[in-house]
Structures are given as C-alpha cells and as structure tokens.
C-alpha cells in the first residue's frame, strides 16, 4: 500500500492540524494540472489583458490558477485569508474569518514558460493568525518571518505533477498517480547534497547585478567548475537544485534594485524547504527565514542551495 499525501498527518508537530489545508493544496494542484493540460483546447493560453500589482502582464492561466487555489483554500474551512501574487490586497475569506490559518501563494510560478509548454509550478506557505482579537485577519498577520512558517512547499507541473512539502519535519515529495487519482509518497525525506551539480541563474543580467555578484559568480565558476542549468521557473530550478545540489540565485540588479522574487510567496517558502532539506538560504547577508517582512508583495535577492556552494558563491 503506497503512502499517500494524507499520511502527512502523521508527520511533525504541525502535521495533523495542517492536514486539511495541505489536502486543499493537493486538490488545487490536481485541478490546476488539468487546466494546464487542456489549456490549448479551451483557448486559455495567452494574456488575460490585465496587470497584477507587480505591473506584470497576467496570463489567463495565472488568473484561473489563482481562482482555483482560493476556492480550495475556502473549502477547507481552516483558512481565514489568502495573500496571492495575483491579488493586490489580502483576500479575507469572510465565512471563515475566524479560522486559524493564512496562506501565501504564487498560484502559477514561471508563467513565461506557458507558451512553450515548459514546466511551471505553485508555491505556498502557511502561517498562523496572530491578531486573534481582531474581527478580520490583517495584512500584519502575513508579515511574519519565515521562522513562524508552519508548513510550506511547492507543486511542480512537469512530465508528472509533484507536491513537495514540509510541516517542519523534513521534506517529502508526493507524485500524482493518475491511475488512482491521488498523490503518493515518491521522494521521502529529500536531502540536498552538501555540494553539487549546477549553478542556476539568469546570467544575461550579470552586467547589471549589484553587490559585486558578477565577480562572485566568476570566481565561483573558476573555483568549482559547476555546470549551468536555468529553466526560468523558480519551482523547476529549485527542485533540480534540491535533488542534484548546487545553487540557485536571483540577485538584485539595476532594474530590480531589491531583487525580483517575492519574499512571502517565493523566497520564504523555498527558504523553508531548503533549510528543511539541509541546505542554506541567504538574502542580503542573513538567512531568508530571518527577514522581518514589511509588505505583502516585497521583493528580495535570494541565494539558495547546498551549503558548500552558497558559501563559495557568497564567501
């Protein structure tokens, strides 16, 4: 009998209480994967015609994925609010506004890959509400450091659909088995190699990187001879980095002076997974999980990966 996603209830101190929310993420993942597979037949590829709060063109699939995710979080009954890349403001779930949990989400990560049938993902993290006395959950409930995250993970929509998550007791990967329509444990206790494999970055930006990162990368390449891989979807690049070792980075540059990737629904969940997998996550000289967030859509530079490789890049 294979271990299924539901068995996460047995893992870690937060396992049982997280179960309904993680099951909701699993249902959203199954629906989003189906929508992605059928998108070309429904005319659902291409731009939606609007911009999100980041000033980025929304794809129709960004909007659909956001709706699916929100609906599944609502249906759990345990989520009082969702902070999403695709929504300017915190979305309060009115009928459960006293529920315990808030979820931060990048519903569709790497959406520039959609037109070329490339891998995309979903990234999420879950925090406990801290303003228990207020009528409604507040944005300040989302502005908690990564040390307060109680569960986080990602879904990778590749040749198979994988849900990789942690409730603070290591990282476990579940693959969707279409024959029985459920996630089954395929990658128990994922650990990143101490040193590895590849560096992963959009190197075309190197002349505009800040903080001397161009020189750092040049030195690291000369010292280690690492190979290079870059998908352009953080989920896919991080998944490979965890399995094969190495370092993923998105430094600050002249265009994105505080970095491009978003703290609450990209950097923190991936930093949580990285630390739980035995790796390192750094931003502006401190651990990503030690950053005190200031805004829902805040951006930060990120350096995530095998301890040896992150140290050799930043050292």
Q: Which does 233 bind (CB under 5 to 8 A by kind): ligand AHG, Mn ion, none?
A: ligand AHG
CB of 234 to ligand AHG, least distance (A): 4
Stretch binding ligand AHG (CB under 6 A), from 69-77, 170-178, 228-236, 274-282: 228-236
Q: Which residues, numbered 11-70, are part of the site for Mn ion (CB under 5 A)?
A: none
CB of 18 to ligand AHG, least distance (A): 24
Question: Cα–Cα distance between 9 and 170 in angstroms, integer?
Answer: 14
Instruction: Kindly tell me which of 23 and 205 has the beta carbon lying closer to ligand AHG.
Output: 205
Q: Which does 232 bind (CB under 5 to 8 A by kind): Mn ion, ligand AHG, none?
A: ligand AHG
Tell me: does residue 233 bind ligand AHG (CB under 6 A).
yes
Instruction: Kindly tell me which of 86 and 275 has the beta carbon lying closer to ligand AHG.
Output: 86
CB of 260 to ligand AHG, least distance (A): 6
Instruction: Kindly tell me which of 143 and 270 has the beta carbon lying closer to Mn ion.
Output: 270
Stretch binding ligand AHG (CB under 6 A), from 35-43, 110-118, 158-166, 218-226: 110-118
Tell me: does residue 109 bind Mn ion (CB under 5 A).
yes
CB of 185 to ligand AHG, least distance (A): 26
Q: For the chain, what is the HEC assignment?
A: CCCEHHHHHHCCCCHHHHHHHHHHHHHHHHHHHHHHHHHHHHCCCCEEEEECCCCCEEEHHHHHHHHHHHHHHHHHCCEEEEEECCCCCCEECHHHCCCCEEEEEEEEECHHHHHHCCCEEEEEEEEECCCCCCCCCCHHHHCCCHHHCCEEEEEEECCCEEEEEECCCCCEEEEEECCCCEEEEEECCCCCCCCCCEEECCHHHHHHECCCHHHHHHHHHHHHCCEECCCCCHHHHHHHHHHHCEEEEECCECCCCCCCEEHHHHHHHHHHHHHHCCCEEEECCEEHHHCCCCCCCCEECEEEECHHHHHHHHC
Stretch binding ligand AHG (CB under 6 A), from 20-28, 95-103, 104-112, 189-197: 104-112
Instruction: Kindly tell me which of 106 and 275 has the beta carbon lying closer to Mn ion.
Output: 106
Question: Cα–Cα distance between 31 and 36 in angstroms, integer?
Answer: 9
Using Cβ positions, the residue closest to ligand AHG within the complex turns out to be: 202
Footprint of ligand AHG on this chain (CB under 6 A)?
A: 56, 85, 106, 109-112, 202, 232-234, 250, 260
Footprint of Mn ion on this chain (CB under 5 A)?
A: 85, 106, 108-109
């Amino acid at each position: 009998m294979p271990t299924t996603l539901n068995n996460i209830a047995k893992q870690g101190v937060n396992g049982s209480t997280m179960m309904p929310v993680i099951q909701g993420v699993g249902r959203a993942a199954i629906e989003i994967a189906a929508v992605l597979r059928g998108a070309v037949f429904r005319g659902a590829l291409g731009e939606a015609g609007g911009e999100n709060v980041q000033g980025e063109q929304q794809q129709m699939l960004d909007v659909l994925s956001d709706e699916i995710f929100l609906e599944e979080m609502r249906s759990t009954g345990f989520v009082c609010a969702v902070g999403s890349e695709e929504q300017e403001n915190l979305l309060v779930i009115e009928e459960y506004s006293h529920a315990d949990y808030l979820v931060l989400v990048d519903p569709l990560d790497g959406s520039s890959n959609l037109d070329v049938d490339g891998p995309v993902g979903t990234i999420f993290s879950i925090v406990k509400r801290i303003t228990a006395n207020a009528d409604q959950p507040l944005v300040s409930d989302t502005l908690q450091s990564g040390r307060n995250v109680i569960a986080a993970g990602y879904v990778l929509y590749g040749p198979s659909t994988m849900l990789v998550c942690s409730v603070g007791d290591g990282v476990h990967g579940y693959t969707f088995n279409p024959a029985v329509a459920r996630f089954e444990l395929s990658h128990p206790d994922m650990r990143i190699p101490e040193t590895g494999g590849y560096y992963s970055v959009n190197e075309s930006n190197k002349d505009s990187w800040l903080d001397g990162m161009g020189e750092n990368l040049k030195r690291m390449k000369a010292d280690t001879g690492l190979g290079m891989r870059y998908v352009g979807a953080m989920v896919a690049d991080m998944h490979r980095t965890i399995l094969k070792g190495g370092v993923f980075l998105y430094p600050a540059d002249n265009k994105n002076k505080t970095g491009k990737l978003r703290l609450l629904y990209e950097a923190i969940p991936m930093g949580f997974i990285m630390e739980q997998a035995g790796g390192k996550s750094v931003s502006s000289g401190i651990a990503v999980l030690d950053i005190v967030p200031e805004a829902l859509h805040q951006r930060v530079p990120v350096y995530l990966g095998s301890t040896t490789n992150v140290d050799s890049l930043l050292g």
